[in-house]
Each structure stands twice: as structure tokens, then as C-alpha cells.
Structure 1
Amino acid sequence: MFVEATGFLLDLVFFGIFMALVLNGSERRQRVERYQEEIQDFKRWNSEEGRMRIAGAVRRLVGMGKTDIDFTGIKLTSFSFCNNDIKSIRGSRFYQGEWGNLSSREQVELDSVDFGFIDCSKVIFSPGNPLQGLLLPPPVTIKDCRFPDANLRGAVFNGALLAWTDPPPSSLYEVVDTDDAGEPSFAQSVLAPFDRADLTGASFRDVQFVNADFRHVTNILDADFSGAIGLDRVEFDDDETKQHVIRQSTRTSGQA
């Protein structure tokens, strides 16, 4: 009798644990859906309130361990992920790139967005431009954005427009002092947009570059620039790197 009662109690305990796990999982899914819906509700507002709402929702999702967030069709200006205590958007998506989703609400506009110091690995900024060859503007525009110290391993920018308003400076350094012999001392005064960003496995296939600057990046030779245009006016650390990337760009996006 005692053994049977003990077994019954253990069954109740295990059943209680199972139900708690089920309820917690259900509650988590509901919270994820709610925060994701909030991002979708405010993704086209491009206002201070919209940015605050999006930041709060993303921060909560990341806090729950979910970083693969749906940002499709977002319009975002003057926003910093790091300054909003967001450390990772790993695996997130900004654009679907499908023929069935070509409405204006699916187009992405990122203007002066700071992705610095966060994990952007495997983020799909643009999987490709389905309108390529039709002489239409790319559906993904990334303008005056910054990626210093960002983890861009495996990030995808295919077919997007990456543009900066001002051309890059001729030098990232300035003279700060001279010694007794008149020899100058230099210090870095400008951070390039991708300063110390890790581009291992990043894909810039068919990207349109305007005033881009890839100085001081990490593992740029491990990135894919096949079919990219505008590279002749892009700044690199040295001419050897520039020529290597330009040669790679002459391959079409379908070539290995």
C-alpha cells in the first residue's frame, strides 16, 4: 500500500512538472508573438515613439533568448542597438526577397542606424534583389549606417544599396604632436563604418556601393563581393586588397 501511494505521489509530481513546462512554454510563445507583433505594428512609423517601442520589444525578445527577430519591411532612422542595451540580433531578417512580397511595405529603409558592437552574425539584411535587372531602385536601402566592432560573420547584404552621403576621408588619422626632430605623431581621428567588423563569410553579392569605406575591417578577403558594383570608388586598407575584391566582383553571383 505504501509503495502504491508513493508511486501515485511521484506520478503527480512528474505530471505537475510536465504541466508547468507546457504552461511555461505556451506563455513564452505568447510573449514572443506579442513582442514580435509590436515590432510589426511600429516598423513603418519611423518616429521617436516607434523607435522606443521597437527597442523595448527587441530588448525583451533578446532577454528571452530569441535573437532571430523578424524586421521585414522596417523603416528605421537614427537608431542605435547598442545604446538601447541590445547586444545581439543574430539570425534576424530584414527582407524576404521573394517575388510574392514586392509591396512597398516590404521595402527596407535603414538610415543612420548604428549596428556597432553587437552580434549581427547570420543576419539577413537582404537575401537578394528580385527586381535586379529591371532598372528599379533596390528594395533594401542601407544609408549612412555604421557597423564598428560588429560581428557580421555570415551576414547577407545581397542586392542591397549600401550608401554613405559623404565620401570617405583620404586618411583616418591626424597629426596630434611632433617630436623634437619634427617627426609627427598620428592618432586615429575617424572610425570607418566597418571599423574592426568581422566579415568572415559575409555576402555582398550584387550590392551597389556608394562612398563605402572598408578600412580596418577583419577578414575582408573571406567575404563575397561577386557582382558588386561601385567598388572602384571604395576605400580599402591597401591597393592589393582593393584589387583582390574588384577581381572577385567580376564574377557573377552564380559563380563559385
Structure 2
Amino acid sequence: MSSCPCTLCDDDRDRKITAEDSAHELRHLMSAIDVRPPYILVAHSYGGIIARTYLGLYPDDLAGMALLDTNTELLQQCLSPMPPVSFQNVTKDVDLETLTHLREESGMTDQEWEDAIAAIQRTMPASADEATHFSGRQLARRMQIDRRAMGVKPLLVATSEMPRDWRRMLTEGMRLGGGSVQDRDDAVKWVESAELFCKQVQKVQLGLSSNSKYVHFDVGHDFPIRRPDETAEAVGELLDMVARQRVDRGENK
């Protein structure tokens, strides 16, 4: 989930990368490498805003979509900013990777881990320029869920125990003495809201299609790294759904 704390107003959009910019760029990239639609988009975190923006711009391009613990237009409003400054102040000395043993549980080789870290570092400058809040509000204006924008196209929605990791970070940050008393009080309230609403507002996306499947991962937001085989299996089921639908319609396999 993007940690951008900004509450971008419409006048700021020219200084940021919007989800619409990224959706157009994705389409140009696929054309440049000569990969033609239909596509199955698999999105994680803020990528869900981009994938659904792509759906709004090019609906005929998509045969299906997987939304893996993605940000949503409603989630941003419920938990904005995400995470708040108070939470960041309390948890500033907490290393989530160490706290959750991500490196050990990833199953990656040393080289694979180094490559993943290098990729994150390369993309950080652009990530910081993403207009996450503005793009979420723009997506909300499309009313995709109300319109069931995907119709009967296969959809996978997966959620995680992301708020549980936030709770663990908060507990550890408080143990280390991070933040002020006010920071701690505010951070506790924010985490409580996340525990109440996060999963629910992500599951609302199931309404995008009448042909949807829901999966829950009993780990944190990083489940594609921590549970790669289970993630691949869930996405594989979506691919099967798309393939069956194409066969039923007499389309090319």
C-alpha cells in the first residue's frame, strides 16, 4: 500500500504522476513490445488504482483482473493519510522486515533478495511522485463498482492481514519509546480503524464483476513475497476462469 501522506488537490496534479498517466504508459509499453490485448492485469497495492484506471480507459483490452491487497478509492478516504504522521513518528525506529522475518520467510536466494531490494530502490523516486490520493478520487468518480464495470469478466480479489503488521509495528514502536503521547494516542486510533475497515473496503471491489472470486491470505501485505506459491495458485485459478469463459464463448484458447 502506498505510504504517500499527501492529500493532493486537483491543482497539484501536474506535479505528480497520476494513475491515468501510468495506465497510458502501460498500454504504450505493451504496444511497443508487440503484446496485444486481451490482457489479464495482476495488480498489488497501489497498482490496483492503476489497473482499475486502465479498466476505465480501455475496458475492451481486459479479459480479467487480479487485485492483490490493493488500494481502493474508499480505503484512501477511510484511512487517509496512510500511514499518518503520528504512526510514522511512533514507528520510525522499527524495521518491519526484521520484525516480521520477511527475509527468512521469503525463500529467496541472497542474489534474488539483493535484486529485489535494488529494484525497489530504483523505483522509489517515481513512487514518491505518484499522485495516489488524487488518482483515488478520480477513480471514485468513475463509479465502477456501482456500474459493475467488468460485467462478467473474471475477477480475483485477495486481502491480507496488513493491519496486523501495523499493530505489531505500533506495539514495537511504543516499546522503543517512539513518538509523543499524542502521537501514540492518534496512532492507536488509526490502527484500530484499519483493523475495522481495511479488509471490508477492499472486498467491496468484488462488486466490479458478477464473476468474482475472493481469497484471504493470513499474512501481511507482502504475501506475494512471503507466499509466492499460494499467490501463483490464486492467480492461476483466475487464468483458468478466463480460459473457460473464452472457450464457452467460442473464442481462441
TM-score range (shorter-chain normalised) is under 0.3
Query: Where is the helix percentage greater, Structure 1 or Structure 2?
Result: 2
Larger Rg: 1
TM-score, normalised to structure 1, is 0.26
Higher relative contact order (CA 8 A, sep 6+): 2
TM-score, normalised to structure 2, is 0.26
